[in-house]
Amino acid sequence: MVRRLTLWYHAVGHRRLGWVLGGFVAITLLLLSGLFTGQVSLRAGEVAPRDVYAPRRELNQPLYQQLKDQALRSVQPVYVTDQKALPNMENHISSVFGTVTALEGSLAKNTAPAAAQAAWTDQVGIALPQADIVHILALSPAELGNLQHLAGAVASRVLQQANYQPSQIGAERDALSLAVESLGLTQASETYFLTAVEREAATPNMRVSASETELARSRAVAAVPQPVIEQGQLIVQRGARVTREDIVVLRQYGLLNGQQNWPAVAGAVLLAAASLLVLLGYLQRFFPGLMRDEANLGLIIVLIVGELGLARLALVVSPYLVPLAAVAVLGAMLFDARVGLGIGLVTGLVLQAAFGVDPRVTVVLALETFVGALVVQRLADRNQLLRAGGVVALSGVLALGTLELLGAPFAPDPTFWPAIGWLLVGSLISIGAPLATAPLLENAFGVLTSLRLLELSSPSQPLLRRLLLEAPGTYYHSLIVSNLAGAGCDAIGAQSLLGRVGAFYHDIGKMRRPYFFIDNQTDMENPHDKLSPMLSTLVITSHVKEGLELAQEYRLPRDLWRFIAEHHGTTLVQYFYRKAKDLHPENPPREEDFRYPGPKPQSRETGVLMLADTCEAAVRAMRGRTTSGIEATVRRLIQERLHEGQLDETDLTLRDLEMIGKAFVRVLSAVHHTRVEYQTEGLEELLRRRG
């Protein structure tokens, strides 16, 4: 037996691993779809044999680079005031006058004009006529000092009145010359000398700022709009001559024959692995019971792959057509709203990362996913699913409208109304796809939805009809237990509908031998009076095994099998055990021979059912039922099951058990309330008169 269980465990483990690996491969292939398909063999200057479309949304790198280059060329050097220009010019003027003063002191008074001119040219370096040189060298130090002061004043006035860049040095010299002439010097030689000095010492008072120029270039580049190639946009038109820019774009997308885009392959592999790890980690953390079933894991993988496949097709038309809410709706229908929401959000992030979906689109689809998971959490009928589709569509339209107002309130996007149209179509698909595929997935993976549970709770179901006809007492017992289980599950936030329907079917095994159970014994001899306690125990406990056989025969969902197998756990059939002890006090029987085969309840719902089944049977057997008596019995039985360890493998807490007990007392008190005795004398007299 142990070896069988071990082999089964390993087989299930291998199947779970197979689902995960299969999902990883499928997601990776979907992410890579279009990467190596649709490649063309083209060169610049050739004519395109067919239309080539962008497989995903991406930046147009060649055009973007061209726009950046244009922006950089349009930026002129930035000039700033050179604070050192005037001091440098004054220093140069002072140096010239110092040289003249020194030359004047070194020449003798009778120096020939030609010799004086030669010494001037050698030491001062400013070209002047010989007569002017002789005149300047003949000036007194006071007169030279006055000329130096005038030269500094001219330079200061001219440089402070206008900004001169290096390219405007000629204009600056002309301005200095005019300023000297405006002084009105009486001697032409002095005017000519000052003009020559000013032109020699002329310095631009503006210089290029490398930092400011670089900042201006950076701002110009930042202001360049990023041209985006949308998914499905025509890159190369059939019959058009291919340009070098077209080749760059094709290479950017990996659409040239023989091109290996290994970074994209690595990115797809890592993204597929990360998305699966995040999602499965989330589900394992918050829904460990769900992840123990390999069928549930397989269904979750199918949902992810199916949604990515639908999205891949929809993106060819419009990103707003992606029915992202469909996977959330299906997840909520098949499992739980939180499960659907997790699958939807992880899938949405994969779409955003892999296919370059616009963030605005991602926001709208994510909101639809939230709403879709919430509005279908508790479906009562399929019409409610259609109403949920309207809510999903409305939420998407409002989200898109809000983003439009926030983004461009005075310049509406011309694609806004087409986007609304595709969004409405995508919302219809998000509801229609779950409506069509939910029954197929239910049957293929044996998963229960609320709609399927409602169908199974109908009295017209074949097993329930048989139970009513063949074991009416058990049928009535199951109805009351169903109400108890539903109330108990509601009290602790468990799946109430699942608990109710599981209670309907938990005792179907009693149909094989209905009169061996006290529920169905009315005015008849008890067949157990003629059987040994051991044989009676075998008959009683066999209704679990026979119930499972009927469940398999009638193809009940596996989730309901658990209610049949676990509702007694490994409890002791106390009546026949005590009877056996009384018959054989010298050789008492083993308790193991008088226990149900189990297993113990594994979920909150089956744990509630065990308590409901026990309490209903005990209260029905009570005499003189009162609310206080019912409450005491319920508390005692719950404590017994707790101390026996029957609830150890459920997630039920002591607080849960307290709330379950209160719910049971409320229901049982209503069922077994004290009735008022009717007065029959007046009724008999009335009937006699009418007769």
pLDDT in tens, 511-553: 988 888 877 777 677 788 778 888 888 988 999 999 999 999 9
Quote the CA–CA distance of 298 and 303 in Å, as a whole number. 9
pLDDT > 90 fraction of the chain, expressed in percent and rounded: 17
Give the single-character DSSP code of 595.
Answer: B
Confidence class of residue 480 from pLDDT cuts 50, 70 and 90? very high
- Beta-carbon neighbour count of residue 139 at 10 Å? 19
The span from the CA of 433 to the CA of 138, in Å, is: 109
Residue range(s) occupied by CATH 1.10.1760 in the chain: 2-32+261-446
Better pLDDT: 511 or 138 = 511
How far is residue 469 from each of residues 473, 478, 558, 663, measured CA to CA in Å? 10, 14, 25, 30
Tokens coding 178:
């005019």
* Residue 516 token pair: 């061996």
Tokens of 126: 């400013």
For 322-359, b/e burial (b = at least 16 CB within 10 A) is: bbbbbbbbbbbbbbbbbbbbbbbbbbbbbbbbbbbbbe
b/e burial code for range 534-544 (CB count within 10 A of at least 16 → b): eebbebbbbbb
Does 213 have pLDDT greater than 50?
yes
Residue 449 · residue 347 · CB < 8 Å: no
pLDDT at 645 over 90: yes
Name the nearest CA neighbour of 569 among 651, 644, 476.
644
The least confident of 27-36, 480-489, 558-567 is: 27-36
Here the tokens at position 564 are: 């049949």
Q: Hey, is 459 helix, strand or coil? A: coil
Smallest Cα–Cα separation from 351: which of 342, 362, 360, 340?
362
Residue 452 belongs to what H/E stretch? helix 450-456
- Residue ranges of the alpha helices (H) in 254-293? 262-286, 288-291
The proportion of the chain whose per-residue pLDDT surpasses 70, expressed as a percent, equals 88
Buried b (16+ CB within 10 A) or exposed e, 610-632: bbbbbbbeebbeeeebeeeebbe
Mean pLDDT highest for which of 94-98, 399-403, 416-420? 94-98
pLDDT tens figures, 574-625? 888 888 888 877 788 888 889 998 899 999 999 999 999 999 988 988 887 8
Cβ–Cβ under 8 Å, residues 343 and 350: no
pLDDT, residue 6, reads: 44
Lowest mean pLDDT among 7-11, 309-313, 666-670: 7-11
Instruction: Report how far residue 94's alpha carbon sits from residue 101's, in angstroms, rounded to the nearest whole number.
Output: 10
Sequence letter at residue 614 = T
pLDDT computed for residue 10 by the predictor: 44
**Residue 51 main-chain phi, psi, to 5 deg:** -70, 140
Contacting residues for 587 by C-beta, under 8 A, at least 6 apart: none
C-alpha angle 467/470/475, rounded to 5°?
A: 40
pLDDT at 659: 95
Pair 488, 611: CB distance under 8 Å:
yes
Find how far residue 88's CA is from the centre of its chain.
65
User: Could you count the other beta carbons within 10 Å of the beta carbon of residue 7?
Assistant: 10
Phi/psi of residue 585, nearest 5 degrees: -65, -30
Query: What band does 413 get if pLDDT is binned at 50, 70 and 90?
Result: low
Give the pLDDT confidence score for residue 260 in this predicted structure. Answer: 57
At residue 381, φ and ψ (nearest 5 deg) are -160, 170
Q: Which of 100-104, 131-135, 401-405, 510-514 has the lowest mean pLDDT?
A: 401-405
Which CATH number is associated with domain 452-671?
1.10.3210
Position 406, amino acid: L
Class of domain 2-32+261-446: mainly alpha
pLDDT, mean of residues 109-130: 84
| 8-17, 125-134, 197-206: least confidently modelled range | 8-17
Tokens 């019995």, residue located: 633
Is the pLDDT at 356 greater than 80? The verdict is no
Mean per-residue pLDDT, 141-156: 86
Alpha carbons within 13 A on the beta-carbon side of 511: 23
Does residue 137 contact residue 120 with C-beta atoms inside 8 Å? Answer: yes
Average pLDDT over residues 181-210: 83
Query: Which residue in the block uniquely carries the two structure tokens 């008849």?
Result: 524
Determine which of 43-52, 280-289, 313-322 has the lowest per-residue pLDDT on average.
43-52
- Whole-angstrom distance, CA of residue 381 vs CA of residue 497: 13
Residue 361 has pLDDT above 50, yes or no: yes
Report for 19-23, 67-71, 515-519, 563-567: range of highest mean pLDDT: 563-567
Confidence (pLDDT) at 686? 47
Q: In this structure, are residues 591 and 572 in contact, taking their beta carbons and an 8 Å threshold?
A: yes
Q: How confident is the model at residue 1 (pLDDT cuts 50, 70, 90)?
A: very low
Residue range(s) in the chain whose domain bears CATH number 1.10.3210? 452-671
Which are the contacts of 27, defined by CB distance < 8 A and separation ≥ 6?
A: 272, 275, 276, 304, 305, 308, 350
Q: What gap in Å lies between CA 622 and CA 633, rounded to an integer?
A: 9
Q: pLDDT of 172-193, one tens digit each?
A: 888 888 888 888 787 888 888 8
Q: What is the residue whose two structure tokens read 């055990």?
A: 577
- Give the integer Cα–Cα distance in Å for 297 and 200: 89
Q: 495-499, 509-513, 637-641, 677-681: which has the highest mean pLDDT?
A: 637-641
Tell me the C-alpha distance between 190 and 135, whole Å: 8
What integer best gives the mean pLDDT of the chain?
Answer: 82
When pLDDT is cut at 50, 70 and 90, the band that residue 378 belongs to is: low
- Alpha carbon separation from 343 to 304, 367, 378 (Å, rounded): 7, 14, 18
CA distances from 532 to 61, 222, 525, 568 (A): 89, 93, 16, 22
Which of 394, 377, 376 shows the shortest CA–CA distance to 431?
A: 376
Strand partners of residue 206: 81
